[in-house]
Amino acid sequence: MAAVQDGQMELDAEKETKPEILSDGTSNLSGNTASGTLSSSPLTAAPAGGAPKMEDQQTLIAVLQFLKRNKLTDSVEILRREAGLGEDQEDSQATDGSGGGKGDVDGGDANSLLSRVSITSAAAPQSVIIFHSIIFFYSYRFGKVGGADDQPDVSVVLSAYSQQGDPSLYQVYYSGLKNFIESVLDCHRAELSQLFYPLFVHMYLELVYNNHENEAKAFFEKFSGDQECYYQDDLRVLCGLTKKEHLKGNEVLLDFRTSRFVLRISRDSYQLLKRHLQERHNNQIWNIIQEHLYIDIFDGMPRSKSQIDSMSGSLAGEGKREVNKAKVFHGLLKEPEIEVPLDDEDDEAENEEGKPKKKKTKKDSLGSKSKKQDPNAPQQNRIPLPELKDSDKLDKIMYMKESTKRIRLGPENLPSICFYTFLNAYQGLTAVDFTDDSSLLAGGFADSTVRVWSVTPKKLRKVKSAADLNMIDKESDDVLERIMDEKTASESKILYGHSGPVYGVSFSPDRNYLLSSSEDGTVRLWSLLTFTCLVGYKGHNYPVWDTQFSPFGYYFVSGGHDRVARLWATDHYQPLRIFAGHLADVTCTRFHPNSNYVATGSTDRTIRLWDVLNGNCVRIFTGHKGPIHSLAFSPNGKFLASGSTDGRVLLWDIGHGLMIGELKGHTDTIYSLKFSRDGEILASGSMDNTVRLWNSMKAFDEVETDDFTATTGHIHLPDNSQELLLGTYHSKSTPVTHLHFTRRNLLLAAGAYNSQ
Amino acid sequence: MAEERRQKLCSVILPTESMKAMAESVGVGSLQEDSCLALSEEVSYRIKEIAQDALKFMHHGKRRKLTTGDIDHALKLKNVEPLYGFQSQEFIPFRFASGGGRELHFYEEKEVDLSDIINTPLPRVPLDVSLKAHWLSIDGVQPAIPENPPPVPKEQQKTDSTEPLKAVKPGQEEEGSIQTKGQGASSAEVKGKEKMRMKPRSTHELSVEQQLYYKEITEACVGSCEAKRAEALQSIATDPGLYQMLPRFSTFISEGVRVNVVQNNLALLIYLMRMVKALMDNPTLYLEKYLHELIPAVVTCIVSKQLCLRPDVDNHWALRDFAARLMAQSCKTFSTTTNNIQSRITKTFTKALLDDKTQWTTRYGCIAGLAELGHDVIKTLIIPRLSVEGARIKAVMDGPVVSNIDKIGADHVQSLLLKHCASVVAKTRPLPDMVDQYKVDYGYLGTMLCSHVVKARAQAAFQAQTVNRTTLTITQPRPTLSVSQSGLSTSSGSRAPSIIKVPSSLTLMSTRPGTPTQPSPPATKYIVMATSAGAASTQQVITLSSSQSGSPVTSTVPSTPTSLQPLVKLESGNTGAVSGSRPLQKYIVVSLPSSSSSLENKSSSVLPSSTSPISMESAVKLERSESPAANTQSH
């Protein structure tokens, strides 16, 4: 029912917005301009599910008002019904809640409403799956698409710039500060230099906003060269902005405005700066610092230039220290006990190896290890996980058997790499995935197709048609074999359904499903038994850059151009969680091995870790200098590796929330990262046609995480990339799109041959 | 530098003239300057914004090149209708035009005649995506297989051999791969690296696999099975892992030549030269280090007095030609100021040429070797000798019959000289071509040279005319040298069928003789060739039309009928046969499996009577460009 409703809402929204688009051509080029303003964290925090308490009620009323204003009556209805709210209640609230409702005031009001939502919902207890938030978000989205509330919000955001200073003095102010910073002691200079970039941007925008186009250009030309090279991409965007009209509807700008740029500065340096600005009565700069920057002051030694450089580079400065303080349960879940009939096991083992004794002891040792509860592990039922099916158990047994044959990797014992080259992929290979047991391979292509290959001699077969299935004896032992249609056996199958390039593919752990995400804004679930599309998950509306199944199946996560990542369950057509907070496209999404967390990488050059349980952002990692295109968790769940367009791999300690390593060597975007099954080796594959192997064990061991570094977050990164690099393997003009370690630690790589 | 670029970016906006031009194109006549300026700023900003969005799609598409599709997707993000009609994967050429003080860039879309498209044979269906697995690394070591890039890149080999001092510093990648070989990987890494630098990096011990490979390849190369040989040569020409075996190969070749020259084993010499050719063709090898072995071997095959047991019958001339071409190629590739290969080789040849006692065979080799080095060499070294050589040839031809061998030799030298000198003389000598004058200048050969030059000139003029009008797609198999036992010449084998481009205007050629007002040049030449791999036969069809001939003639040069299937049916009917009212046209079908000599003979016997000299010239030219795929026993 709700799906239908969805469509209606969409239609309604469309209808309404049409005339507005016409009347207001300038603001509306981009549909999602408002997402920056509105999609900050409150949206994710869900209001409580049960009977609404007083504060929740207020929240709801606020939401309802918001919806009403945007004429989303359907959603109002639903929400009201769900919450059991009377119309009068809301009306009474509404009258005292909002004043007029025109122009800027209107937008400001919406904002205040939203902030109320955030405050109340943050306090609300969080439960498992709630639809209110979703409905709320939907209606919010459609409201947004219309762009009706676009305009006022932008104005509100920008109005902060309306203060008038003498435009000609901006250069003087800036160079005055520059001179000051250059004259201070070396130890403070590096820290205070962090101010340059945010100040530069804000001053430039202020000039532009106040229609001082020529001064703005002059200002830009004079000082843009001073900025750190890693901000160049942003500067390129900025330099295009020369008119006030451009400011409306520019996402980058809104990011900059809505999120305060975070700087970490030691108390001494901060005092120094403050004293200087007060002496000079340099109000212009002081105002900007007060209003637009967030200065995270810490006690102790100022940081060195290299320390600062390693952490900076993101769109909105470093993460605040407190955001990384939350406890993250990074341990692994206990392996489920699998009761296997002993004789069965013996039989199999004997057949295969002829030494059942050894096998059993091995298995016992594995079992006993997993019985010890990891203190860092989340509770087994922290999030509900699907029940294990018989076939899953069989697979687990296979997995254990395979892992006994696993090769122990290390610097002296490097893995073999098997490279799967896609030939004749003229249309462009955009995504690849292997199944965990390495039997299937899926490729997403720019021509909207998804192709599945079997890389073992076993061919891909469809299930027989319903009529044929009826004739099968369901009691027979090989019923699973009988339902397959031999006539359809082939090495590869093509899945048609998307209407845009497929940017992400992911197999379900049980190999029955395949997910694909595409430019057309949908995530599709395909059955690998019938090779047909089962569900199209709509929600992103903009290109979906990545998707991945949870390691336990059932859940999956997707992230896209609309700057949010969504958590879905395969049997729900709407997302269970919306992880909002990134300031730019979510480019890659990965599940933590215990499925309780999701990591997302973004074009805003940050990595965020989200708690699946409550949708909170629990970690923000900054330090990359380019959009992040690959992420990988270590098998023990403690560490995270990330690769970006700048060709560097960064290693993170999740528990402490620290950067612990930097691997330099690649010369182009890293599209793929993978840890070996034991976590000893990290493999990275890049656009520069190489696969590199890194000694991740050594990288993790060498990090000293004493209390001081843990609390301040200051790290000294040893520059030891060359020592950690174990091997470089060039392919023949084939960018490495995907890497995968088989259960026996053979490395599989995949990419499309590029004939030019 | 980055700063400069940024500043530039800041000020870049579209010129207001463009705005005006665009306004005019949609019917807005006069646009005020202010409006233009405002528009151009706005448009520039939007374009930049879209380009930045498009970049995202490029990154996610895992490409380095922005495509039109990316722009379309970016427009879609902004709810803008995408641009239609720009669907090229590749570069879209915008053309520039100016006039009347206007400058325009536009995308040229030519009008396409539908009938052309219909008549064009369908292109090959593109292959479907397929998956191929190979070992990128085995236990940390990258195997040297064709799927992997060569272990030592060619550039490296080049610096190794030309600048040995620089070569001691391996690049960063090299260090990585060295480490993977397990030397000094762990703690004493830095030391290990230092040590590695001291060591010469090309190991000369071959692994068991490599030894096996070497044995197989060399056996196949000189064995009796032509199919195997083709495979082996293909392997030599493409395999990236041969760097380490190169010294063995070069010794094999030089020793092989030494032995077989003494034994006059022509077939083996040819096999060895084909090996040299294959090695040179291998894009991953740099042969400079081994030239001291290879060049003497090649030169031997050019100038040796005797290369075969029956010099009167066997076609050792083809071997000399082939080796001379190899020599020229290596001169071009490897000659540097330090080794002076070209000048040294030139000296050697010239010295032999100047010697009176030189045999005809050696003389032929010297001339061929020099001639292949280029026009300048011909001009300065051969043409001045023409009269002397002419006299020598005359002495043999007209004098008392000394021996048949000498006569054949002189005959070959004569045709060689004429072939090479004609084009050079045509370029350098001013008109008019007077036979008498030629006789004075060049002696005995003057008469024949004159007629050759006339043909060459006609040919050149003819090409100059056609060059602007028709695209000429010529795909030729690389010159190969093969020895055929059965008389049926076999080409190098598994070469894919070359592109068949049937000229669009094959039936539309309107060359009206006697209508000088029509600017279209009188003749268009098309060469259509195909090599069918299965039958291992080369078919080649040359169609030639010329308005000069009065009547349409089709002259077909038949040869071994088994393998001959002309690809294009050529009509020779009188006016109004197939081409309807088309003017007279003449096509010549030449099919190539025939031996070059027979081709020449026959064409010379048939053509002069029926066709203009132009076609004759083309036949000759064709023969030259083809390989000496000739039967060795044809004489």
Tell me the CB-side half-sphere exposure of residue B287, using CA atoms within 13 A: 29
Give CA–CA dist B576/B582, Å, rounded.
Answer: 7
Nearest CA in chain A to B2: A225
> Where is B428: in which H helix or E strand?
helix B404-428
Rg (CA), chain B: 31
pLDDT in tens, A61-117: 777 777 777 667 777 777 777 666 555 554 444 444 343 334 343 444 444 444 443
Whether pLDDT at A170 is above 70: yes
Give CA–CA dist B293/A196, Å, rounded.
Answer: 66
Q: Do A423 and B179 touch (CB under 8 A)?
A: no
Give CA–CA dist A384/A742, Å, rounded.
Answer: 28
Give CA–CA dist A687/A734, Å, rounded.
Answer: 8
B418 three-class SS? helix
CB neighbourhood size of A488 (10 A): 15
Which residues from A are below 8 Å from B40, CB to CB? Answer: none
Pairing, β A725-730 against β A586-591: unpaired
Confidence of residue A418 (pLDDT cuts 50, 70, 90): very high
Residue B166 phi, psi dihedral angles, 5° rounding? -70, -30
Q: Do A422 and B131 touch (CB under 8 A)?
A: yes
How many degrees, rounded to 5, is the angle at CA B286 between CA B284 and CA B287? 135
Give CA–CA dist A353/A345, Å, rounded.
Answer: 12
Give CA–CA dist B465/B524, Å, rounded.
Answer: 9
Distance from CA of B33 to the nearest CA of A (A): 18
Task: Note the pTM of the prediction, 2 decimals.
Answer: 0.63
Give CA–CA dist A196/A225, Å, rounded.
Answer: 11
B510 three-class SS? coil
Residue that is written with structure tokens 């390129």 in the block: A236
pLDDT in tens, A436-463: 989 999 999 999 999 999 999 988 999 8
Confidence of residue A611 (pLDDT cuts 50, 70, 90): very high
Residue type present at position B412: H
Q: B340: phi > 0 → left, psi -120 to 50 → alpha, else beta; which?
A: left
Whether pLDDT at A277 is above 90: no
End-to-end alpha carbon distance in chain B: 68
pLDDT score, position B175? 39
Q: Do B173 and A728 touch (CB under 8 A)?
A: yes
Q: Do B60 and A545 touch (CB under 8 A)?
A: yes
Q: A249: closest CA among A582, A43, A71, A24?
A: A24
pLDDT score, position B581? 41
B288 three-class SS? helix
| CB B65 within 8 Å of CB B58 | yes
| CB B53 within 8 Å of CB A250 | no
Give CA–CA dist B259/A478, Å, rounded.
Answer: 70
Query: Higher confidence at residue A576 or residue A472?
Result: A576
Q: A700: closest CA among A620, A605, A633?
A: A633
Low-confidence ranges of chain B (pLDDT < 70): 1-11, 87-92, 152-204, 401-402, 465-635
Give CA–CA dist A636/A673, Å, rounded.
Answer: 16
Confidence of residue A464 (pLDDT cuts 50, 70, 90): confident
Give CA–CA dist A204/A194, Å, rounded.
Answer: 17
Q: Is A746 exposed, middle or buried (0-12, 13-18, 19+ CB in 10 A)?
A: middle
- What mean pLDDT do residues A231-257 have? 76
List, as ranges, residues 81-140 from B with C-beta within 8 Å of A: 89, 126-140
Q: Do B57 and A451 touch (CB under 8 A)?
A: no
What is this model's ipTM?
Answer: 0.76
**B5 and chain A in contact, CB less than 8 A:** no
pLDDT in tens, B77-120: 888 888 887 766 666 677 787 777 777 777 777 788 888 888 88
Q: B37: closest CA among A149, A65, A243, A705?
A: A243
- Comparing CB atoms, the residue among B9, B89, B136 nearest residue A418 is B136
Residue type present at position B417: L
Give CA–CA dist B337/A348, Å, rounded.
Answer: 73
Which residues from B are below 8 Å from A451, CB to CB? Answer: 129
* Burial readout A91-119 (b: 16 or more C-beta within 10 A, e: otherwise): eebeeebbeeeeeeebbbbbbebbebbbe
pLDDT score, position B408? 83
Q: What DSSP line would sit under A469-536, residue for residue?
A: HHTS-TTSTTHHHHTEEEEEEESEEEE---SS-EEEEEE-TTSSEEEEEETTSEEEEEETTTTEEEEE
Mutate to test the interface with A, among B50, B90, B131, B132 (most CBs of A within 10 A): B131
Give CA–CA dist A294/A264, Å, rounded.
Answer: 9
**B143 and chain A in contact, CB less than 8 A:** no
End-to-end alpha carbon distance in chain A: 51
Confidence of residue A741 (pLDDT cuts 50, 70, 90): very high
Residue type present at position B238: T
Size of interface A-B (CB pairs under 8 A): 189
pLDDT score, position A29? 36
Q: Is A459 exposed, middle or buried (0-12, 13-18, 19+ CB in 10 A)?
A: middle
- What mean pLDDT do residues A281-289 have? 77
pLDDT score, position A587? 94
How many degrees, rounded to 5, is the angle at CA A49 between CA A47 and CA A51? 110
Give CA–CA dist B60/A543, Å, rounded.
Answer: 10
Mutate to test the interface with B, among A667, A681, A728 (most CBs of B within 10 A): A728
pLDDT score, position A417? 94
- What mean pLDDT do residues A601-614 have? 92
Instruction: Take residue B453 and report the two structure tokens written for it.
Output: 């030059």
Which residues from A are below 8 Å from B56, CB to CB? Answer: 561, 585, 603
Residue A538 phi, psi dihedral angles, 5° rounding? -105, 145
B495 three-class SS? coil
* Strand order through the sheet with A522-527: A502-507, A513-518, A522-527, A532-538
Pairing, β B587-590 against β B554-557: parallel
- Comparing CB atoms, the residue among A426, A519, A545 nearest residue B126 is A426
Which residues from B are below 8 Å from A669, CB to CB? Answer: 59
Residue A641 phi, psi dihedral angles, 5° rounding? -115, 145
Q: Do B180 and A726 touch (CB under 8 A)?
A: yes
Give CA–CA dist A449/A494, Å, rounded.
Answer: 7
How many degrees, rounded to 5, is the angle at CA B7 between CA B1 and CA B12? 125
Residue that is written with structure tokens 């290890």 in the block: A369
Whether pLDDT at A570 is above 60: yes
Judged by average pLDDT, the poorest of A181-190, A291-300, B98-107, B324-333 is B98-107
Q: Is B162 exposed, middle or buried (0-12, 13-18, 19+ CB in 10 A)?
A: middle
